[in-house]
Structure 1
Amino acid sequence: MTSLGKRLVVEGAGTAWLVFVGCGSIVLNGAAPQPAYGVLEVALAFGLALATATYALERLSGAHFNPIVTVGFAVANRFPIRDLVPYIAAQILGAVAGTALLAYVASGRPGFDLAASEFGANGFGDHSPSDYQLHSALAIELVMSFVLVMANLLMSRRAVSRSVAPLVKGTCLALIYLVALPVTNGAVNPARSTGPALFVGDWALDQLWLFWAAPMAGGIAAGALHALLWGKPRASHGGTVGKHGEAA
């Protein structure tokens, strides 16, 4: 079994990759005079980033890269509670590191102003890409977070092939972003939301609560439903972490 320290490094690195690639597809292309990327391309960037990181790192940490996935697995009794806070902390630090690298790269463009840029941050109302209000953002983040966590739980079942699961998870995230990008700029991941918000500040920090509260509620609901429908896994062997980061 991989040690907790190594798993935390992997979770941080995978989250950093997801944020850098996904938000980079918004920030670096969106900064150009004629943006090269639209909703489809950004959604694919997030989905492919998750799929590649999962293929590469799943055996080491379970490849959560998202606090709501970790919480959902814990609620479903498929992840040890003692590792919950360290995993979430590593994911947040990874997201901040990925955002910092993105800010450094973006600063190389003449005229780039981080303070004036939304920098891939999530928002609603005046800060929604298509001016969607709070109730729309709340609904989309809650429902899509539920779907994402449930997909991760179902793909973690032992009967599912390791060669298929990462592709399904990445495809699920891409489909979610196709719908969520016009509403909130695509979140369903509190770590992904926190990184850009810390750099943008102001309104992004004021609205960050929604991108923790709604996704967490969706993730908890998915974990509870999974536990209800499929029950607890077979007796734990000392609460060790298995191949998907769940309690084995």
Structure 2
Amino acid sequence: MFKKLTAEFIGTFWLIFIGSGSGILATAFPQIGIGIVGISFSAGIALMAMIYTIGGVSGGHMNPAVSVGLAVAGKFPAAQVLPYAAAQVAGALAAAATLYLVASGKAGFVPGGFGANGYGELSPGGYSMTAALVTEVVLMALFLFVILGSIHERVPAGFAPVAIGLSLTAINLVSIPITNTSLNPARSTALALFAQTGALSQLWLFWLAPMLGALIGTLTWRAIGEGDDAESCVSN
């Protein structure tokens, strides 16, 4: 178990440091800022690489909502959800603290939003709480649907990290303007702690929505992606 939790800690650290770090450190760099497209691809590539790296050790969840969804799907022991979530939040906190240390080394640094998630005044595009909630629930549901489909025995081995990583890239392209893209309560918690905004007061939504979305996505997959009917459609 120690190896699994350590792998989740390292994996989540990497995901947050690269995915969020690209937004905090590189997106607005004069003349060559990477923008939303760059942030989206950095997060997707980071996730894909780490799933390949630690997938065989811990499963490569790096997200409490993913752990919950896999447990509901019967593909992960429910008793391990809380220890995994603790390791994931700890990894995200360590990454956020490291990013803050690096970013504060620049003259005139002001944390501001620090890449934290938010709605209303804290939404990059000024989107409402309802818009943020719907976006996070729907995209997390679809993300879990992709994850479960990608790891199904019908899919050739080795392709799941590619599908999952590219899905996160696509998700970021859509939702960064709305919420700064959470889908990951560990990420939201860690960055909110360092933001100089009211991000902590909105953190509840970025735990509730990913968890709800994960449940919806998992139940949807179990209803239409598994079973004799699904198998027979593929074989015909």
Q: Is this a same-fold pair by TM over 0.5?
A: yes
TM-score, normalization by structure 2? 0.91
Letter paired with 2:222: A
Letter paired with 2:40: A
1:150 alignment partner, one of 145, 148, 161: 145
CA distance in 2, matches of 1:190, 1:123: 12
Give identity over the alignment, percent.
42
CA distance in 2, matches of 1:63, 1:86: 14
> 2:65 is matched with which residue?
68
Letter paired with 1:227: R
Matches within 5 A, 1:109-120: 109-114=106-111, 117-120=112-115
> 2:219 is matched with which residue?
224
Matches within 5 A, 1:1-248: 4-30=1-27, 32-34=29-31, 36-114=33-111, 117-200=112-195, 202-229=197-224
Question: Cα offset for 1:32?
Answer: 3.7
CA distance in 2, matches of 1:120, 1:34: 20
Output one character per residue of 1:96-133: Cα deviation in whole Å (capped at 9) or x when no partner. Answer: 0111111111111111123xx11110011111111111
Contact 1:71 1:84 in 2 (8 A): yes
Relative contact order: is structure 1 or structure 2 higher (C-alpha 8 Å, sep ≥ 6)? 1
Contact 1:122 1:204 in 2 (8 A): yes
TM-score, normalization by structure 1? 0.87
CA distance in 1, matches of 2:113, 2:215: 29
Contact 1:77 1:227 in 2 (8 A): no
Secondary structure (helix, strand or coil) at the match of 1:200 reads coil
CA distance in 1, matches of 2:177, 2:83: 32
Runs of 5+ consecutive residues of structure 2 not aligned to the other structure: 228-236
Name whichever of 99-108 and 170-179 sits farther off. 99-108
Output one character per residue of 1:22-54: Cα deviation in whole Å (capped at 9) or x when no partner. Answer: 111111124545560211111101100101111
Runs of 4+ in 1 over 6 A off after TM superposition: none
Bigger share in helix: 2
Letter paired with 2:131: S
Change in Cα spacing, 1:59 to 1:223, as seen in structure 2 (3 Å) is: same
Secondary structure (helix, strand or coil) at the match of 2:16 reads helix
Question: Cα offset for 1:227?
Answer: 2.9
Number of equivalent positions: 227
Question: Cα offset for 1:158?
Answer: 2.2
Secondary structure (helix, strand or coil) at the match of 2:156 reads coil
Letter paired with 1:198: L
CA distance in 1, matches of 2:166, 2:27: 23
CA distance in 2, matches of 1:40, 1:230: 31
